């Protein structure tokens, strides 16, 4: 049963990750540093979530986020990786990223192949994109958190 405290609002600088999102998966992610991840609510379950993200004071975009240890890659450190549903023209390492995490999508899982992992992520993106169009989630795009 999912019991994570939502919504949550997180901000911090975009840090370099493992470089797998863009290179291995074709699904770029913006990552938070270990310090930001350590400050997440202790009862935020590992898994996939969706919500909204903003880089610096730019436009607010849909996002899908993985929190956990990425069992496919056997990570030993908990990460928070955000895939923003927007094609940026440049890298933005070191930029301020704000996210509003709204809903839990699924638990963290392992996959037998990279193709199955990519398929699951694409499914997550599709579901999240549709869900974020619902009024109860869409209203958070204009939340005061993104206006400051």
What is the rounded distance in angstroms from the CA atom of residue 86 to the CA atom of residue 75? 26
At residue 63, the pLDDT reads: 98
Give me the chain's average pLDDT, please: 89
CA nearest to 92, candidates 145, 8, 17, 142: 17
pLDDT beyond 80 at 124: yes
- The larger pLDDT score, comparing residue 116 to residue 76, is at 116
11-30 pLDDT per residue, tens: 999 997 655 555 567 788 89
**Structural domain spans, the chain:** 8-146
31-59 pLDDT per residue, tens: 999 899 999 998 899 999 999 999 999 99
Beta strands in 2-148 (DSSP E): 8-15, 30-32, 47-55, 60-68, 79-84, 96-107
User: Do 66 and 84 touch, CB atoms closer than 8 A?
Assistant: no
What's the pTM value of the predicted model, to 2 decimals? Answer: 0.90
At the topology level of CATH, where does 8-146 sit?
Elongation Factor Tu (Ef-tu); domain 3 (2.40.30)
Among all residues, which ones are annotated catalytic?
Answer: 81
CA nearest to 62, candidates 72, 71, 74, 53: 53
| Confidence class for position 2, pLDDT limits 50, 70, 90 | low
CA nearest to 67, candidates 23, 103, 118: 103
Q: Find the mean pLDDT for residues 120-134.
A: 96
């Amino acid at each position: 049963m999912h019991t994570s405290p939502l919504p949550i609002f997180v901000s911090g600088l975009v840090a370099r990750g493992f470089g797998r999102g863009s290179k291995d998966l074709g699904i770029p992610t913006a990552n938070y540093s270990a310090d930001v991840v350590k400050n997440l609510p202790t009862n935020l379950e590992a898994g996939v979530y969706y919500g909204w993200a903003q880089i610096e004071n730019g436009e607010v975009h849909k996002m899908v986020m993985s929190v956990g240890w990425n069992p496919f890659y056997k990570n030993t450190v908990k990460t928070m990786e955000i895939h923003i549903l927007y094609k940026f023209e440049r890298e933005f390492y070191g930029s301020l990223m704000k996210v509003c995490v709204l809903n839990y999508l699924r638990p963290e899982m392992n996959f037998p192949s990279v193709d199955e992992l990519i398929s699951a992520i694409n499914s997550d993106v599709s579901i999240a994109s549709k869900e974020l169009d619902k009024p109860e989630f869409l209203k958070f795009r204009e939340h005061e958190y993104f206006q400051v």
